[in-house]
Structure 1
């Protein structure tokens, strides 16, 4: 079996793969390619492949000047869940967030993503807030690493 290959999306093809994972896992919050480019400028993005097969992605929103809180998000496409890929993406994101000075780690999961909520809770996150974004109907869940 091939090893997981994780890289930063540095062209439209790999950024399109990151966008595809986002839009598949979060169908209620579709991002355009321009949205994905904006995220790539503001956050640390990665995409994961098993051989040449796209399996997932991650986002690390670094801490800002006024807070030491970073957001770490790992997403794995449905057919590839339960094989440790999310854990590997999450561990890399957690390491990056801590190296960026994060003292508090949070994540955010769409409430309808039961696998994502189960993953977050299994990795020590506890729910701190639920909310619905303007124009959307499915709540988001903010969780903090305890």
Structure 2
């Protein structure tokens, strides 16, 4: 299926939170162990900036109001200014839309836009056991830059975290 995407709006936040919460019980893509609330993500959404740290939502053609996934470019390592050339990428899909190509489409869009926004690097962390996500990111040129052994504990199960990154090339100006 070919998905479309658009910048997220405040009205999308409940769907974004639902998608994020859908991965929590799986213990495969986040260290949050309890569901989050829309209220708890208000500041995160308000701090996103379409010109620097955008959030895009995926949707089926002709159904822009039905959010099927999202990707965001966020400040790297607590937003310290020296890291402004790097974006921390987050990508989550609705369970009904995984394995359908949407992740690849959203990731490709984020990579292209990150370069246009002046980022030189995109980085993210993925659980070592999340082979599907690792394959997706590797297919888009991300390389493993490090492995943090047993830094997460998911209900008594130690989990390694793989740090992956993608250099985007030299960019001259930051937006």
Shared fold (TM-score, shorter chain, > 0.5): yes
Distance 1:139 1:47 in 2: 28
Name the TM-score, length of structure 2 as normaliser.
Answer: 0.66
Please say which of residues 114-123 and 23-32 is displaced more in the overlay.
23-32
| Contact 2:87 2:123 survives alignment (8 Å) | yes
| Contact 2:153 2:159 survives alignment (8 Å) | no
Q: Which residue of 1 aligns with 2:23?
A: 25
Q: Which residue of 1 aligns with 2:56?
A: 46
Structure 2 SS opposite 1:60: strand
The structure that has the greater radius of gyration is: 2
The structural deviation recorded for 1:88 is: 1.6
Pair 1:134–1:66, CA change in 2 (3 A): farther
Unaligned runs of 5+ in 2: 26-30, 49-53, 168-175
Query: Number of paired residues?
Result: 144
| Contact 1:22 1:75 survives alignment (8 Å) | yes
Pair 1:39–1:96, CA change in 2 (3 A): farther
Q: Which residue of 2 aligns with 1:77?
A: 94
| Contact 2:55 2:71 survives alignment (8 Å) | yes
Name the TM-score, length of structure 1 as normaliser.
Answer: 0.77
Distance 2:116 2:75 in 1: 10
| Contact 1:73 1:93 survives alignment (8 Å) | no
Alignment of 1:57-96 (within 5 A): 57-62=70-75, 65-67=81-83, 68-96=85-113
Alignment of 1:80-119 (within 5 A): 80-119=97-136
Distance 2:40 2:163 in 1: 21
Unaligned runs of 5+ in 1: none
Distance 2:36 2:124 in 1: 18
Higher relative contact order (Cα pairs below 8 Å, separated by 6+ residues): 2
